[in-house]
A and B are shown apart, each in its own frame.
Chain A
Amino acid sequence: MKKITGKLCMTLAILAVGVLAGCASGPQFSTVQAGLTPLAPDKGRVFIYRSTGFGAAIQPDVHLNGTVVGTSKGNGIFFVDEPPGNIEIVIGTEVEKRLTFTLGAGDVRYVKCEVNMGILAARIVPTLVDQDVAAKEIGDLAFTGGK
């Protein structure tokens, strides 16, 4: 019995280390939020975040209008400032998931990367969320940078 419990603890510990190792690292977003680069009047800001560590081993590139702007990491957040216009976010994992939305000058948009279980692996689905929803989820995340 002791042996089984020991093995279970060891397995859980390895899993926990695996999850943590895959999560984003950086200062807590709530501690740096006030000091972020101010948004230029002719641009909009897109925050991209993942609010859980689930599927942390899956860290796909995030493409914005065809350019890689960052990596989707568990419990991480970053932002991109863009000129107004149409925005297409593409995240490729087991399948490619795409999100399209408009961005105006002065707009701040929040893209949440949801982790869903696919057939072979977790997949990351970008969704546009309200500021109110994002505000409740991003404070504790690791800030990985802004462009």
Chain B
Amino acid sequence: MESNRSVAGRRLLAVAAALLLAACAAEVVRSEARLEPVADAQRVQVRLQEAAVIASSSGYSRTLPAGSLWELRGSIAQGQVYRRVDGILTVEGAQVHEAFVVLSGDRLVGFYLPVEQSFSPAREAVPAHFK
């Protein structure tokens, strides 16, 4: 029979491990990406038809709400880059970065980080329908 002390010890270790993991969140994976911007007149705005949940490489996920408004800002090798107009989007790992989404066909494949000028792949591409 396990003593109360041993159970308490295990719980303490579990809490310490959780805190340690939280302290060591991985930085988001990213690679350099060159944005080919569109002219101001071509910055079309579209709305997301259904909510989409997209996770960054660090595991943090973001819900993009249905009806949210996005503006085409250009393209990178991985797809077209849209910036949210009616809200903020960030990705989070060890640090926090403002992010735009990258759309390839009808799937969100990752994030464009405008300050770092880099692409960060989503953990998994997710369908997204803009109109």
Contacts and interface: CB of A to CB of B under 8 A. Distances in A.
B20 A88 contact: no
A128 B115 contact: no
Contacts of B96: 97-100, 125-128
A56 to B, nearest CB: 21
| A interface, size bucket | 20 to 34
B41 interface: no
A119 B17 CA distance: 10
Interface in B104-121: 113-116
B4 interface: no
B39 to A, nearest CB: 17
A87 B115 CA distance: 8
B23 interface: yes
A100 B97 contact: yes
Interface string A3-45: 0000000000000000000000000000000000000000000
| B interface, size bucket | 10 to 19
A78 to B, nearest CB: 20
A86 B90 contact: no
B43 to A, nearest CB: 13
Nearest to B116: A100
Interface in A101-147: 101-102, 116-119, 125-130
B97 to A, nearest CB: 5
Interface of B: 16, 19-20, 22-23, 87-88, 90, 92, 95-98, 113-116
Interface of A: 86-88, 94-95, 97-102, 116-119, 125-130
